[in-house]
Structure 1
């Protein structure tokens, strides 16, 4: 089904014509010209049945004897196909807030997720004839798309090697928009934007996953500290030897490396023991 323009004429001009026909009908009846008056009355009633009011950002789908005659987008008063059925479809931008859905992420962890969908109808014929109740169609397909996207990614990770639902909201929203547009184009709907509005672990595992996140954060922080400490110790040893400040054998090199690593990695401040000399008997 493709949208096309329905036949219509200027409504104000049509009203003037109807008024003239009614006046002609009255004049004919007064002069006992009943046939002429009856014809004028029938034409006036026929044109009057086609009067339609179209508001801004609305379209009217015209159906006559079960056949799609076209769509009217011109705002104002118009006269279209007489005795036709006319369905008004809003072309305004609308929001749809999905319910909080419980799904499993790619790692199988149950999460709660919800999104807001911004959309509008761009093809009124598809919205009326290709789907049954397009508003409900948008709602169901939105929830399906949210579930499909949520199962592709983990909720969170500390390795930063893959996209996550929590850490890459922009990328996830873009993919959700594309997924929704693919599903809703059959209904003549354009998806303007899709954004996550709620994202959390499910209540039954929230506490356990919080502890896991804390443990992962501690491990990631420790790994970073160790990497930095090794680099600092290596740089310190190389500079000491390069500038001939001290000559270290293997045993003293190992001892210095151990002391430096302990001082840098330790949670508490290091308390060095100062060597003031050796007492010989």
Structure 2
């Protein structure tokens, strides 16, 4: 099924035309031309069944004895083909909030994930006649696409290589929207946006994974501190040698580097020991 425009004319002009027909039929009956008057009156009653009122951001699909004739998407009052049945479809932008789904990521870790999908109907014929219930269809396909995308990525990339659900939310949202659009085209639905609203480890492994994240963060911080400490020690020695403040042999350089690294890398503040000389000379 593909949406097409139904035949229609301005409803206000049609109502004016019906009024004139009713008046004409009445005058003919009064004048004695009863058969013609009744015929015109009957034609008016038949045509007036084609009057349809369409609200803003709404469309009506018209069927005539089981055959799809077209859709009226312009708001207002219209005259269409008489004796047509119609089904109303909302064209407004709508949200769908998925339930929290429990799935396994690509590494097999159980996670909880949920998303919100923003969509609207763009083809009334597909939405009404190609699927049984397009709103339920959107709900099921949204959860299916979310599960499929969640199983393709890890929750977090501890080594910093590749994409992850937590670290690349924009890319994940774009992929969910793209996959969902491919699934919902058959229903005449356009996906405007898809965003993750919930992402967490499942409760049975949340504590262990939190410890892993903390350990990774501590390790990364330590690596940064060591890199800075080595650079500071190297800079201090070079500065002393260039300005000739003190001459250091290799043994003293090693001792100085050791003291600087211990002072900078240590978790606790250092306690300096000041040598003021010996009491006995």
Deviation (angstroms), 1:175: 2.3
Which shifted more, 216-225 or 12-21?
A: 12-21
Query: Structure 1 residue 152 and structure 2 residue 156: aligned?
Result: no
- Distance between the aligned counterparts of 1:231 and 1:149, measured in 2? 44
Q: How far apart, CA to CA, are the structure 1 residues paired with 2:136 and 2:261?
A: 63
Structure 1 unpaired stretches of 5+: none
* Local SS of the residue matching 1:248: coil
In structure 1, the residue matched to 2:139 is 139
- Residues 181 and 191 of structure 1 are in contact (CA less than 8 Å); yes or no, is this contact kept in structure 2? yes
Asked if structure 2 preserves the Cα contact closer than 8 Å seen for 1:94 and 1:118, the reply is yes
Aligned to 2:263: 263
Alignment of 1:158-197 (within 5 A): 158-197=158-197
Deviations 1:203-260 (A, max 9, x none): 1111222222222221121122112212222222222233333333333322222211
Cα contact 1:158–1:217 (8 A) shared by 2: no
Stretches of 4+ aligned residues off by more than 6 angstroms: none
Return the offset for 1:159: 4.1
Instruction: Kindly indicate whether residue 21 of structure 2 is the aligned counterpart of residue 21 of structure 1.
Output: yes
TM-score (norm. length: structure 2): 0.91
2:79 counterpart of 1:49? no
Q: CA separation in 1, counterparts of 2:242 and 2:109? A: 53
Shift of 1:135: 0.8
The equivalent residue for 1:77 is 77
Q: TM-score, normalised by structure 1?
A: 0.91
Q: How many residues align?
A: 281
Deviations 1:112-146 (A, max 9, x none): 11111111111212212222211111111111121
Distance 1:135 1:63 in 2: 21
Q: Is the 8 A contact 1:47 1:82 kept in 2?
A: yes
What corresponds to 2:68 in structure 1?
68
Alignment of 1:83-94 (within 5 A): 83-94=83-94
2:268 is paired with a residue whose SS is: coil
* Aligned counterpart, 1:211: 211
**Separation in 1, partners of 2:75, 2:170:** 38
Residues of 2 paired with 1:32 and 1:103: CA distance? 81
Asked if the contact 1:14–1:47 (Cα under 8 Å) also holds between the matched residues in 2, the reply is: no
Q: Secondary structure in 1 aligned to 2:190?
A: strand
State the alpha-carbon separation in 1 of the partners of residues 206 and 25 from structure 2. 79
Matched residue, 2:200: 200
Moved more, 64-73 or 150-159: 150-159
Distance 1:104 1:14 in 2: 61
153-162 vs 58-67, which moves further: 153-162
